[in-house]
Amino acid sequence: MSAQQRRFPFDRLRQKFDETERRCRQCGFVDDDGGWRVRTSGDRVTYQHVCPSCDAIETRELRL
């Protein structure tokens, strides 16, 4: 599988998170400019978002 083929679904998923998960669960801050960092390891994709207001870390993990 080429790098380009692998990247595509990650970008799609990240876009989905960006649209729906911008509000911090801890303090309610809406991070309009923020996004999710994506990390991959093996067959898992881990998304992480750090709230710029209270530093709460939100994590999602998906299996490919």
**Footprint of Zn ion (CB under 5 A):** 24, 26-27, 29, 51, 53-54, 56
Answer whether 37's CB lies under 8 Å from 49's CB.
yes
Give me the least distance between CB of 6 and Zn ion, in Å please.
32
> Of 38 and 56, which has the nearer Cβ to Zn ion?
56
| 57: nearest Cα among 26, 20, 30, 15 | 26
Distance CA 23, CA 37 (A): 15
> Of 54 and 64, which has the nearer Cβ to Zn ion?
54
> Of 17 and 29, which has the nearer Cβ to Zn ion?
29
